[in-house]
Chain A
Amino acid sequence: MLLKRLTESAGLPGFESGVRGVIMAEIKAHVDSMRVDRMGNLIAVKNERASGPHIALSAHMDEVGLAVKGIDSDGYLRVASWGVDPRILPAKTVLVGKNKIPGVIGFKPWRLTSEAERDKAAKTEDLSIDIGAFTKEEAAELVSPGDYAAFDSEFMEFGAHKIKAKALDDRVGCAVIIGILQSNMPYKISAVFNTQEEVGLRGSSASANQIFADLVINLEGTICADTSGVPEHLRVTTQGMGPAISLSDRTSVYFKKYREAILKTARDNGIPCQFRQTGMGGTDSANFHAAHGGAPVIGLAVPCRYIHSPVSVMDKRDFENTGALTAKFIEYFNQTGGLGRES
């Protein structure tokens, strides 16, 4: 399964080549051109010569994880976090560096913790990865500072519709785009697979300036707090209710005209959808929105519970509906000549 292959590849910010390789192999036969820019972004074009409106699809390849800062005298790895909630780190398994050296994130024994420590999460700088080395020298033969540590988490299906995996944010967006590229759509479509989103939208700050499209659809895995005890207005999204349409976030506001067009497409085709009910977060949309003269952007996302953890959970139906809605919208956008050009 494509999502399994995508989520089980490692792609920490700046080290996305593994994921990029999987994507390139998948889309090679279905696009007219494919290139990798100097930030590592993968840009592919399908039906390059087709006339009519031009939609670009964007997703990011990288995932959250840890970076090795140094090795201490006992051979433990000290780490920095690339966007991970420190509460989830202790007792997780990780794979370090290109050679995927297995390790575990250790923690202080209970009997040695103080009252205060028991009440709050350990800070990332107080945690370390145990790769089973006895000395600093032994560890240094296997890893070096700057290596990344990715979550080690198998893709798993459970319940009637659920998938558990790491990096659903944003391999699920990558998978939706791959599905569109593999279809026999006749329209001109650019696909942009960005690097380094999780460290501040860095890949797209370079790729956005290389794309001249009439509309950009940014595909994401997004926050879903539809879990036990969370009041309805703080859930952001709910699983099973379909793709989440973005309203606004810290760096973009999504135009009503395009929000309504995608909502109409969903209704006309009987595809469930919902709004992303928060103004928090930031996505690559920001860079496409403001690049060279400005472009309208639609944000569509698959709700992911426990996002940015090794056990993020999504609903397969939301994934399928996100793909279906994206495809139907591309069709609608082309058939209406781009909905007219003004915003």
Chain B
Amino acid sequence: MNLELLQKICGLAAPSSGEGAVRDCVIDLLKDVADEIKVDPLGSVIARKKGAGPKVMFACHMDQPSFMINFIDKDGFLRFSHMGKLAFEQIRGQRVVFQNDPPGESLRSVMTGVIACEKIRDKQQASMIHLYMDAGFRSREEAEKHIAIGGLCVFAGETVIDGRKIISPGLGRAGAFVLAETAKAMQSSPNDMYFVFNAQREVDFAGAKASVWTVSPDYAVCFDLAPSHDIPSPEIQQLPVRAGNGAAIKIKDSSVICHPGLIHFIEDTAKENGVRVQFEISESFQSGAGPVHTANGGVPAGGVSIPARGIDSAHPIALLSDIEESLRLALHLAQKPFENLV
């Protein structure tokens, strides 16, 4: 597995609506292997590898949990809104890095800040509205020279890969890595393959909602993370996903019940090729497969997920073996005819 590329894709910064760096990277990777590449109005990348069979869409996303500056006070402290499912405890105390502005322009300087909480008497009452960013400014005027209202930032943090695992604020893009590698490695496909790298997952899946209409696929397989349930917890974990048990074939999450035809097709493909798989049933977790399966009068949809711990935190973690199995599964799926599945 190309760990360098995994590190690169996950290590880029791509706040929702500011996915330029990842978009450029994906286009660069696929420009010589795709028959067509287009960027849609929301900034999603749609890459096609033509084939005679049904239209099959593999979808993933490019963005990550992110923040937008919406207020600068007279002392130069920043207030923000967040995009993505982030809880107070996960945000407080974290370091953030601001996006270069305009996106894609070479680094002028990397600006960082810290998310801190107002001093309030009753600590139990502290909530999102008490959080602010401290980027070391001393006045509104000084801050405004470096950051504008509407400016974007993401969690700061190195993307770390060792022999077993990856930890990265952009881990959600492991799906984009899988898709890019699949598109590059696959031979001719019996399917008309569309590899879709969606913008704005963290804004209610806006990118996926828009691009599924453009592609109008016959079948869709969505690649994303899934929360791994093998974490220390006083409550009994009744859900099945375990990091290290392989690629997770999605049965359901809170936004979709996958089409049985696709679930079986994916499972059979894994068995035929000795890919290690498990099944995903997630609660209070949504995926791009949600808006995709109800689009255009209905799209039979399945999903392949990479188990990750701390999925809604600044430093989610996944095991490399699971990413590798997901990539193997994606590659086999892309080259197998999607025939008579429904």
Complex Cα–Cα for A276 and B149 (A): 10
Indicate if B81 sits at the interface (CB-CB under 8 A): yes
A286 (CB) vs chain B CBs: closest residue: B204
Complex Cα–Cα for A278 and B69 (A): 9
15 A-B contact pairs sorted by A residue (CB < 8 Å): A233-B79, A247-B149, A250-B204, A252-B203, A253-B200, A275-B150, A278-B70, A279-B80, A290-B205, A293-B213, A293-B214, A294-B40, A294-B41, A294-B213, A343-B42
Indicate if A17 sits at the interface (CB-CB under 8 A): no
Contact mask for chain A residues 290-311; partner B; CB cutoff 8 A; 1 contact, 0 none: 1111111000000000000000
Interface residues in chain A, defined as those with a beta carbon under 8 Å from any beta carbon in chain B: 232-234, 247-248, 250-256, 259, 275-280, 286, 289-296, 341-343
For the complex of A and B, the 5 pairs showing the least CB-CB separation, nearest first, are: A279-B81, A294-B210, A290-B209, A294-B42, A294-B41
Complex Cα–Cα for A151 and B42 (A): 39
Complex Cα–Cα for A254 and B280 (A): 33
Residues of A near B228 (CB, < 8 A) are: none
Q: How far is the CB of B316 from chain A (nearest CB, A)?
A: 22
Q: How far is the CB of A34 from chain B (nearest CB, A)?
A: 26
B73 (CB) vs chain A CBs: closest residue: A233
Indicate if B113 sits at the interface (CB-CB under 8 A): no
On whether the beta carbons of A247 and B213 are closer than 8 Å, the reply is: no
A277-B70, A279-B83 are contacts. A343–B204 as well, Cβ < 8 Å? no
Q: How far is the CB of B119 from chain A (nearest CB, A)?
A: 14
On whether the beta carbons of B81 and A248 are closer than 8 Å, the reply is: yes
Complex Cα–Cα for A250 and B203 (A): 7
Complex Cα–Cα for A256 and B151 (A): 9
Indicate if B82 sits at the interface (CB-CB under 8 A): yes
On whether the beta carbons of A253 and B70 are closer than 8 Å, the reply is: no
On whether the beta carbons of B73 and A232 are closer than 8 Å, the reply is: yes
Complex Cα–Cα for A259 and B148 (A): 12
Q: How far is the CB of B216 from chain A (nearest CB, A)?
A: 10
Residues of A near B149 (CB, < 8 A) are: 247, 275, 277
On whether the beta carbons of B73 and A251 are closer than 8 Å, the reply is: no
Indicate if B17 sits at the interface (CB-CB under 8 A): yes
Complex Cα–Cα for A238 and B272 (A): 63
Q: How far is the CB of A276 from chain B (nearest CB, A)?
A: 8
Q: How far is the CB of B197 from chain A (nearest CB, A)?
A: 14
A279 (CB) vs chain B CBs: closest residue: B81
Complex Cα–Cα for A31 and B20 (A): 40
Residues of B near A248 (CB, < 8 A) are: 17, 68, 70, 81, 83, 203
Residues of B near A256 (CB, < 8 A) are: 17-18, 150
Residues of A near B42 (CB, < 8 A) are: 289-290, 294, 343
Residues of B near A278 (CB, < 8 A) are: 70, 81
Residues of B near A276 (CB, < 8 A) are: 70
Given A294-B211, A294-B214, 20 new contacts (CB under 8 A)? A233-B73, A247-B150, A248-B17, A248-B83, A252-B203, A253-B16, A253-B17, A256-B17, A256-B18, A275-B70, A278-B70, A279-B68, A289-B206, A290-B205, A290-B210, A291-B209, A294-B40, A294-B209, A294-B213, A296-B41
Residues of B near A254 (CB, < 8 A) are: 17
Complex Cα–Cα for A290 and B200 (A): 10
B132 (CB) vs chain A CBs: closest residue: A233
Residues of B near A253 (CB, < 8 A) are: 16-17, 68, 83, 200, 203, 206
Q: How far is the CB of B220 from chain A (nearest CB, A)?
A: 16
Q: Pick the contact of B81 from A251, A280, A292, A341 — CB < 8 Å?
A: A280
Q: How far is the CB of A218 from chain B (nearest CB, A)?
A: 14
A253-B200, A286-B204, A290-B210 are contacts. A233–B71 as well, Cβ < 8 Å? yes
Residues of A near B205 (CB, < 8 A) are: 290
Complex Cα–Cα for A252 and B207 (A): 10
Complex Cα–Cα for A275 and B148 (A): 11
Residues of A near B79 (CB, < 8 A) are: 233, 277
Indicate if B129 sits at the interface (CB-CB under 8 A): yes
Indicate if B43 sits at the interface (CB-CB under 8 A): yes
Within 8 A of A (CB), among B35-93: 39-44, 68, 70-71, 73, 79-83
Complex Cα–Cα for A232 and B16 (A): 26
A294 (CB) vs chain B CBs: closest residue: B210
Q: How far is the CB of B65 from chain A (nearest CB, A)?
A: 12
A255-B17, A275-B150, A286-B204 are contacts. A293–B40 as well, Cβ < 8 Å? yes
Within 8 A of A (CB), among B166-216: 200, 203-207, 209-211, 213-214
On whether the beta carbons of B68 and A293 are closer than 8 Å, the reply is: no
On whether the beta carbons of A295 and B41 are closer than 8 Å, the reply is: yes
Residues of A near B68 (CB, < 8 A) are: 247-248, 253, 279
On whether the beta carbons of B203 and A292 are closer than 8 Å, the reply is: no
Residues of A near B39 (CB, < 8 A) are: 342
Q: How far is the CB of B172 from chain A (nearest CB, A)?
A: 16
Residues of A near B206 (CB, < 8 A) are: 251-253, 286, 289-290, 294
Q: How far is the CB of B225 from chain A (nearest CB, A)?
A: 21
Q: Pick the contact of A234 from B41, B129, B200 — CB < 8 Å?
A: B129
Complex Cα–Cα for A277 and B73 (A): 12
